[in-house]
Each structure stands twice: as structure tokens, then as C-alpha cells.
Structure 1
Amino acid sequence: MHGGPRTVVVDDSRFMRGLITDILESGGVEVVAEAADGEEAVRVVAETDPDVVTMDVEMPRMNGIEAVERLMAERPTPVLMLSAYTDEGAEETFAALDAGAVDFFAKPGGEVSMGVSRLESQLVETVRSVAGADLSGAGERPAEVAAGSASTAADVAPNTTVVIGSSTGGPDAVERVLCDLPPDADIRVLVVQHMPEAFTGRFAARLDAACGLDVREATDGARVGRGEVLVARGGLHMEVSNYRDGRLRVRLVDEDRGQNVRPSVNVTMESAAREVDDPLVGVVLTGMGDDGSDGVNAIADAGGFVVAQDEETSVVYGMPKRAAATGRVGAVLPLADVAGGIVRGAP
């Protein structure tokens, strides 16, 4: 007997459909139907009205991106993309996220079936999380966000450092916040998005193209100064190793550090709290789990200010909920107001 979300599994490989179905059903998720391509997926979703869809990207007749577009237009349903662990897979995955998919699960390279099998519990957890996602406004960019923040560079305290953490639903949320920050302000930003290595470079490039700030993927020893953003590299923790005169330096750490994700928001926030002696702001955006709650405490202990995204605008209200539960968050705000909260809250 199943008590989990009702799920449709979409993949052009019969073997993969069976494998994913077995994994999900072993984890208590009910698979109500399978589909071999995007056209069949759209029809099956209309017939079964599932809570969530797992969607392959590359399929005949109608690929996963086109299927997501159709679903969002005709029958909005939370979609988890199953993506190839390649640069091309990253490009296609971001296109699917733009189309309205909630999140993605990266298929490791090599023997795909073995890789997915090793990550059974993570796949089940992600499907459950995506099933509960809020799709209100899916595919839309609110006018007040697209128009940019009313804040100006003069409103930002000198030498302000911002650490942003996010997970499920985070790529779009991070973009919106960065695009709303005054690009000429005396601000430097570290972004920790739960995302595998093959995807973070492409994510940084997309942010750089969309926003006025200078965004790049972090490298070991990279420095970040005024108007610059570093995105943590997938698979490695990003620590602040040094801070002096408004410029900070990071190191990339290939160690567990007691975290169940890598990169971890906690690791970056805690190191920033230790090293940065100028204004410091922590931000926790949409995502599942509790990563960031320890970092929030560290930033607050260091005299910094913390902003958390509110439940209504979060795709998944996990990380910001746990952050707010610490009692150390200075402001809980809708996504459109987070940039303004950063500017106003900088000590």
C-alpha cells in the first residue's frame, strides 16, 4: 500500500522506466503510469492527474523540454527532470527549468542504472519534495521583480558581503535576487546552490548574462570584490579563507565536514562569519532540508543580518522554514522583496 505522491515516470528507455518505477515504489512512492515520450506523457498526465512527473530530457517525437511547456500551459504539474550529467545535459536542464520544471536529478555518467541505484534514497526524497512544490506563477516573471529593485548603490553599506543559500527551486530564485541588487553597489556575493559539478559552471554563466553583477563559478583561491559574485562549484564546499579591505578569498574543500550535501550553505556561512569583519548578510532561499540553519546562527552570532524567503513564494519551504525556526532571522520576505531586505538589513 502506497502513501506517497502519485507519480508518472517518463523515459524513452523501457529499462529505465522500470528501474525508476522500482526505486520509487520501494521508497513508498506510487507510480500510477509510465510514458515513453513527451506526447504520451502529456496524454497520460491528463488521464491520471498525478502529483508529480519524472521527465527524461532526450526522447523521440516530443522531448522533455517541449513536454514541460505543454504541461505548464495545459495542466500545470510539478516536474522533476532526469538529466544527463554532461555540459549538454546541463544546458537542456536549464531550458526545462525555464519552461517550468521544478528541479532536476542528475544521472551520473558511465553506467546510468548503477548510478541511479546508488542514489535511490535521494531520488525518492527529491520526488517527494517536488510533489509538494508550489507552482503558482510557474513560467511567469513578476513585473515587480523583472523591473529591478528600487534600492540604489547608495543604500548599501560599504563592503557588504552577502551569502545566499538555496536548493529546490533555487536557480530562478537566486537569479531574481541577484538581478534586483544594485549592480554598482559596494557588495560582494557568495552563492551556494545545491547542484552537481556539471551544472554549476553553466548556472554561473546564466546568472552573469542575466544580471548586472559579475558572476563566475568559484575556483580554489578565487578572490571576489565589489560587484562580483562567486557560485560554489558542485561537489566541493566553498569556504571564505581570507578577508581584507573589502576583498575576500575562497578555498574549495573536498571533505565531508559533517554535512549531507556538498556544497553546503552551512560551511560557507560559518566561514564567512569567522573571517568577514565588515557588514555581513545571510540569505536562505527555497529548498528542501535544513542546510543553512547552522550558518544562520553563526552569522547572527557574528553580528550579521539574516533574510529568509517566505513560505508563499518558496517552491519548497524547507530550508527557509528551518532557518526561521532558529529565531535568528531578521526578516522573512517574499522573493520580490529579498534584495531590498538585503540592502536595508546590512548592519
Structure 2
Amino acid sequence: MSSASAAEPTRAVVVDDSRFMRTLIRTLLEDADVDVIAEASNGREAITVVDEHRPDVVTMDIEMPEMNGLDAVEAIMDECPTPILMLSAHAEEDADVTFDALDRGAVDFVTKPGGEVTSEMPRVKRELVEKIQSAAAVDLSATRRTSRPPKTETKQQAATASPSSPSVESESLPTEGTTLVIGASTGGPNVVERVLAALPKEAGLRVLVVQHMPAGFTERFAARLDARCDYEVQEADDGERIGPGQIRIAPGGSHLLVTRDRAGQLKLELSDDEPLHGVKPAIDLTMASAAETVDTPLAGVLLTGMGRDGVEGMTQISRAGGHTVAQDEETSAIFGMPKRAIEAGCVDTIAPDGRIAEETLRGLTT
């Protein structure tokens, strides 16, 4: 693991072509007792600085002269593996680039402070510091063991190019109407992608995904997933019904709840309530509402992430008779949420990322 010991401050390198932004980030981090040991103004310089100082974590801008952040991430992960937190502008085009950075080895991202820096400073600082500490705690050996999702553009290509997953016999598939709720945080996007790509279309599941991710990125995340699995994937809309073969992603900045309409069909509601566990959407709220509402087979899956969001939700699903699966320590970038759920005694099965889909389906049919 690359994180600093508990007795020492986290050591960070800040990479950005803007001197103002480097100064701002340094100030925010040092005010929270994060030790900024060096700076770099472009990707090429970043590679040298990281190799020289061996920090616990790097904040990486995307657009820079000489070498951009994407190429720098790839080079650092090849030459001197270090947890990297991307700083992404809050724009649709940057969302796609940010996901590309995650594919290349970055562990997480945070939205870059914009023109509203003064009014948004408390939020910006809190989010940045939390993400820095989380990224510094990532087990890079686990992320390297995690199978990367296929880089495909269409569902047909994904079906052809995806690495083979453990097969599930058709007679062993759960009955139609089964609901699956997946929760993930740091290190989660690629694991979510792999799990969803392994779900057989003929299972006809209704799937809800709560990935801790800021507003403006979950819509692109849904589009990315839609291109890489057999199900129809969209960002969830308030008041919509969800049926078999559909996957809905909790929007960043809203809690996702499961209710029923007058006809008894599952309906999704978006809530603007305060963050829970410091996050919005919160896994606990989606899982708990599903446990209370769903009267057909139900499963909960908790993936990599720091903190305890999802523990109470998994407990509620277990108490409702649902099947629960947690990602194992070996393939978890951060074995925080899964570990706490396991310790709470609400997990039926512990599995590596490549077997989560199979073990979830198996648990629903036994």
C-alpha cells in the first residue's frame, strides 16, 4: 500500500500548468495538514518529480503543455506507481477524458475549483482533502490485480471483446423481476463496469448503481456503461419506472430511492436531502429503500471504497431475506466499505471483482 503511516502526514505532489491553481491547491492541502512536498507544471516534469520524491499521492491536471495529464498518468503508473487524483473541469467533454484517466491508472478524480472559488471554498477544500486522503490509502497492488474492463465502443464489440467471465447456466438464472443494488466508491468505476458487463442479458435483472461521483459525471458514466454491457443503462430520472433488463445510475448530487406506483411497479425517486456519510448519492439510502419496497428476489453488492456507506443498507437487504456480496480485500482498491459490512455480519459471500456477477446470480438461485 502506498499510503503514509498514521503517524505521518500525507505527502503530496501538485501538478498543474497554472501557478495560481498550484498555489491554491497547496494552500488548501497544507491547511489540512497535507504535506505538499513538490509541484510540477506539466506532465513531463511530473514524471521526474514523482520519481524523485516518491509521494503518497499526486493531484494531476488534465490539459497541460509538453505532456498532458493522461500521458503522465500512464507513464507514472508504468515507471513509479503512485496513487493519482485527477483534477477535472466540470464539463461534459472533460468527463470522458477523466474516465480515460481512470482506465490508465488514476484512482479517483475531483472537480477543479472554478470561477466561484471564493463562495465555494469550504466545499472545495472538504472535497479535495477527503479525496486526497482516500486516494493516498489506495492499494495499488489491488488495482493492478483488478481486471481492466474492455475498451469497446458498442454493445456488439463488447460482447466480442470482453474477457470471458465465469458462465452461468440458463437454468440457474434468477427469475425475472429480480432487483440488484450495487454500491461503490473510490476505485469503483472500473469494477462496476466489469460486474455489469458480466451480467447475462437473459437474466433480466433490474439494477441500481450508486457510485460516489459528483454531478455532471454520472450521465457520462451511464453512457459509458451502456456501450459496454448488454443492458440498457441510463442515469436515473425522478419518477421513472424500472423494468427487467434496465440499469439506472444514481445521479451525482441526488439520493436515489426505490418506491412503488399505484399499479405496484417499482418507481425511482430522486431526493435532495442532505448528504449522508458526507456523500450524495448515498448507498445506504438506496439499499434501505429497496429492502423496504422490493418483494421479489433482491441482492446487494458492496464494492471498493473508504468509509461505511452501504453497511446499513446491506444489513437491511440481508434482514429482508436478500442475498449480499462484498468485494474481497485482494482486489479492492480500498477495503473499507466491504470490510465494515463483513464485520457487521451482513455479507453472505465475499468474492474477487471477476466473480462478483457469478456469485451474485448463484446466491439468487440457491
Q: Give your verdict on TM over 0.5.
A: yes
Instruction: Give the partner amino acid of 1:322.
Output: R
1:261 corresponds to: 279
* TM-score (structure 1 length as normaliser): 0.94
**Preserved contact between residue 276 and residue 282 of structure 2 (Cα < 8 Å):** no
Separation (CA, whole Å) in 2 of partners of 1:96 and 1:302: 39
Deviation at residue 61 of structure 1 after TM alignment: 1.3
Separation (CA, whole Å) in 2 of partners of 1:51 and 1:340: 35
Q: Which moved more, 1:285-294 or 1:105-114?
A: 105-114
1:344 corresponds to: 362
Separation (CA, whole Å) in 1 of partners of 2:76 and 2:45: 12
**Residue number among 204, 207, 217 corresponding to 1:199 in the alignment:** 217
**Residue number among 300, 308, 317 corresponding to 1:282 in the alignment:** 300
Deviation beyond 4 Å, 4+ runs, structure 1: 137-141, 243-247
**Preserved contact between residue 142 and residue 332 of structure 2 (Cα < 8 Å):** no
The alignment status of 1:99 with 2:117, answered yes or no, reads: no
**Preserved contact between residue 165 and residue 354 of structure 2 (Cα < 8 Å):** no
**Preserved contact between residue 255 and residue 272 of structure 2 (Cα < 8 Å):** yes
Separation (CA, whole Å) in 1 of partners of 2:226 and 2:145: 20
The alignment status of 1:149 with 2:154, answered yes or no, reads: no
Identity %: 52
1:15 corresponds to: 20
CA deviation profile, 1:298-347 (whole Å, cap 9, x unmatched): 11111111111111100111111121121011011111111111101116
Seen in structure 2, the aligned counterparts of structure 1 residues 23 and 177 have a Cα distance that, compared at 3 Å, is: same
How many residues align? The count is 346
**Residue number among 77, 81, 95 corresponding to 1:76 in the alignment:** 81
Unaligned runs of 5+ in 2: 1-6, 151-162
Structure 1 residues 209-224: aligned runs within 5 Å = 209-224=227-242
Aligned with 2:346: secondary structure? Answer: coil
Separation (CA, whole Å) in 1 of partners of 2:166 and 2:118: 45
The alignment status of 1:46 with 2:51, answered yes or no, reads: yes
* TM-score (structure 2 length as normaliser): 0.89
Separation (CA, whole Å) in 2 of partners of 1:108 and 1:154: 52
**Residue number among 228, 232, 235 corresponding to 2:253 in the alignment:** 235
CA deviation profile, 1:26-73 (whole Å, cap 9, x unmatched): 212111100011011011111111111110111111111111011112
**Preserved contact between residue 284 and residue 308 of structure 1 (Cα < 8 Å):** yes
2:35 corresponds to: 30
**Preserved contact between residue 3 and residue 30 of structure 1 (Cα < 8 Å):** no
Structure 1 residues 127-138: aligned runs within 5 Å = 127-136=132-141, 138=143
Deviation at residue 108 of structure 1 after TM alignment: 5.1
Seen in structure 2, the aligned counterparts of structure 1 residues 163 and 143 have a Cα distance that, compared at 3 Å, is: closer
Separation (CA, whole Å) in 2 of partners of 1:323 and 1:282: 11
1:295 corresponds to: 313
Aligned with 1:224: secondary structure? Answer: coil
Unaligned runs of 5+ in 1: none
Deviation at residue 246 of structure 1 after TM alignment: 9.5
CA deviation profile, 1:56-98 (whole Å, cap 9, x unmatched): 1111111111110111121111100011111112111111111
Separation (CA, whole Å) in 2 of partners of 1:116 and 1:81: 18
